[in-house]
């Protein structure tokens, strides 16, 4: 007989603590795992990220261990950036493409040792990784279930982790890693995150998950540290200008209709494409695109008013030139931000367009035509995310 808690959904190693903290019982599905959309109030969780510390269960992130004599050569063939420039103990953001130069996914590469890497990705891609390994002396393992992870983000995040006894963490630079012993288990801490703020990600064996959660929340007054759900994280990442696979672009292997996938250039990620390194997946197609021009341009828009332009059409005069993929009124930046895919050559910095916004109040739909402007940079990029050591809080 099944109990009310029996489910086909997977639970992360932190689930007992997460479930106890989820006051409003608001749950979502992240790649088959039960994860909270919100614990109590989305705005309070968001402000924990920006004012104190927010803690996010990162465990469902797909994690692949790539090791062996050809590990670096294999990854250099797979992704668009030069992996040889990622030194041991460092993390690099990257994308990988199919042979047509269309993005399969974006993610982070952790260089754990000379021939030992961890690739973190949104989409499940083990089949693609294995197929791409033909001819390389490399081992690829899906270690998603073997690694529990927490994102600890916000201006007091370093102080709280120091209070836990992680001595020396304040000297860790952005995109660096450090190893610690925690309760007899190896704990890896990286200065990475998806909020655009000072923050860290903690990686440990599942057996250490609950003690790690408990120690973290005992590191400071409970009012100064809060668990955060996917809704608050989404608001923070939009404010910081971070795109999300499955939201801001369709991974190429998931695209059913022609023309729905995007290249790195069309996502504003051309800086990740290194044509000076040896051959990599999609290189020829991306070279041709660089010479001929892209079909679309990624743009960050400042939209007039405070109504988020969710799924809006963008107009130039009477012509539809693109659509909004992510949108939010961002409290810290005090800006109504939208990410848009615009037809080239539209999307130049400073150009002005119109967003067609629909919103509902008390079952009444309102249509608003809001002026918007292409920004040259995202409005939230605090110095504290780069300071080493972080400012004391």
Helices and strands, number each (H, E), in the chain: 8, 19
Over residues 335-346, the mean pLDDT reads: 97
pLDDT at 4: 39
Cα→Cα distances 94→124, 274, 367, Å = 16, 11, 39
Indicate if the pLDDT at residue 139 is higher than 50: yes
| Residue 392 pLDDT class (50, 70, 90 cuts) | confident
pLDDT at 3: 38
3-state DSSP assignment of residue 225? strand
In angstroms and rounded to an integer, the radius of gyration of the C-alpha atoms of the chain is: 21
Over residues 238-266, the mean pLDDT reads: 95
Distance of alpha carbon 125 from alpha carbon 368, whole angstroms: 40
Indicate if the pLDDT at residue 17 is higher than 70: yes
Binding residues for substrate, as ranges, are 201
Over residues 305-320, the mean pLDDT reads: 97
pLDDT at 35: 96
Q: What is the per-residue pLDDT across 51-108, written as a single tens digit (0 to 9) for each?
A: 999 999 999 999 999 999 999 999 999 999 999 999 999 999 999 999 999 999 999 9
Distance of alpha carbon 110 from alpha carbon 120, whole angstroms: 8
Q: What is the per-residue pLDDT across 362-391, written as a single tens digit (0 to 9) for each?
A: 999 999 999 999 999 999 999 999 999 998
| Residues pairing with 10 in the sheet | 33
- Kindly tell me the burial class for residue 363, based on how many C-beta atoms sit within 10 Å of its own C-beta (0-12, 13-18, 19 or more): exposed
Give the length of the chain: 393
Distance of alpha carbon 10 from alpha carbon 26, whole angstroms: 16
Domains of the chain: 15-59+147-228 (3.30.1360.120), 295-377 (2.40.30.110)
What does the block give as tokens for 258? 């022609």
- Kindly tell me the burial class for residue 271, based on how many C-beta atoms sit within 10 Å of its own C-beta (0-12, 13-18, 19 or more): exposed
DSSP label at residue 381? -
How much of the chain, in percent, has pLDDT values that exceed 70? 98
Indicate if the pLDDT at residue 19 is higher than 50: yes
Indicate if the pLDDT at residue 141 is higher than 90: yes
Q: What is the per-residue pLDDT across 189-220, written as a single tens digit (0 to 9) for each?
A: 999 999 999 999 999 999 999 999 999 999 99
What does the block give as tokens for 9? 């959904």
What does the block give as tokens for 234? 């989404």
Beta-strand (E) ranges in the chain?
26-30, 33-38, 53-57, 62-67, 91-97, 103-113, 116-121, 139-142, 148-153, 177-182, 185-190, 199-204, 225-227, 296-303, 313-316, 319-330, 335-343, 352-361, 364-374
Cα of first residue to Cα of last residue in the chain, in angstroms, is 51
Binding residues, as ranges, are 201
Over residues 7-34, the mean pLDDT reads: 94
Angle of helix 230-240 versus helix 42-51 axis, rounded to 10: 50
Q: In whole numbers, what is the pLDDT of the chain averaged over residues?
A: 95
Q: What is the per-residue pLDDT across 148-188, written as a single tens digit (0 to 9) for each?
A: 999 999 999 999 999 999 999 999 999 999 999 999 999 99
- Kindly tell me the burial class for residue 317, based on how many C-beta atoms sit within 10 Å of its own C-beta (0-12, 13-18, 19 or more): exposed
| Residue 123 pLDDT class (50, 70, 90 cuts) | confident
Distance of alpha carbon 181 from alpha carbon 166, whole angstroms: 9
- Kindly tell me the burial class for residue 277, based on how many C-beta atoms sit within 10 Å of its own C-beta (0-12, 13-18, 19 or more): middle
Q: What is the per-residue pLDDT across 2-13, written as a single tens digit (0 to 9) for each?
A: 333 556 789 999
Cα–Cα nearest to 79, from 295, 297, 288, 283? 283
Cβ proximity of 344 and 293 under 8 Å: yes
pLDDT at 278: 85
3-state DSSP assignment of residue 110? strand
Over residues 23-29, the mean pLDDT reads: 96
């Amino acid at each position: 007989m099944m109990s009310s808690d029996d489910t086909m959904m997977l639970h992360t190693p932190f689930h007992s603590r997460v479930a106890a903290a989820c006051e409003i019982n608001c749950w979502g599905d992240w790649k088959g795992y039960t994860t909270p959309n919100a614990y109590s109030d989305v705005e309070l969780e968001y402000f924990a990220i920006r004012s104190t510390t927010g803690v996010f269960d990162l465990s469902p992130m797909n994690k692949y261990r790539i090791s062996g004599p050809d590990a670096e050569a294999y990854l250099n063939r797979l992704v668009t950036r030069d992996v040889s420039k990622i030194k041991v103990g460092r993390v690099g953001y990257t994308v990988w493409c199919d042979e047509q130069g269309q993005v399969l996914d974006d993610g982070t590469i952790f260089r754990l040792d000379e021939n030992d890497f961890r690739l973190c990705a949104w989409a499940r891609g083990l089949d693609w990784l294995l197929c791409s390994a033909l001819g390389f002396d490399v081992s690829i393992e899906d270690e998603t279930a073997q690694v529990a992870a927490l994102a600890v983000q916000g201006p007091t995040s370093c102080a709280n982790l120091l209070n836990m006894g992680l001595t020396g963490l304040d000297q860790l630079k952005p995109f660096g890693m450090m190893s610690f012993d925690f309760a007899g288990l190896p704990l890896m801490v990286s200065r990475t995150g998806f909020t655009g703020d000072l923050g860290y990600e903690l990686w440990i064996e599942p057996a250490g998950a609950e003690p790690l959660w408990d120690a973290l929340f005992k590191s400071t007054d409970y009012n100064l540290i809060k668990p955060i759900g996917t809704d608050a994280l989404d608001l923070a990442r939009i404010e910081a200008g971070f795109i999300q696979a499955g939201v801001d672009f369709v991974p190429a292997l998931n695209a059913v209709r022609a023309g729905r996938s995007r290249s790195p250039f069309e996502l504003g990620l051309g800086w990740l494409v290194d044509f000076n390194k040896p051959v990599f997946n999609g290189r020829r197609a991306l070279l041709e695109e660089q010479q001929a021009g892209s079909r679309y341009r990624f743009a960050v828009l400042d939209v007039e008013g405070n109504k988020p332009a969710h799924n809006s059409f963008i107009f130039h005069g009477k012509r539809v030139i693109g659509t909004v993929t992510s949108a939010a009124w961002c409290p810290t930046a005090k800006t109504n931000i939208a990410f848009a895919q615009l037809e080239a050559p539209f999307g130049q910095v400073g150009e002005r367009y119109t967003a067609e916004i629909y919103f509902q109040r008390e079952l009444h739909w309102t249509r608003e035509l809001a002026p918007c402007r292409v920004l040259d940079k995202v409005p939230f990029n605090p110095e504290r995310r780069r300071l080493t050591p972080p400012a004391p809080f």
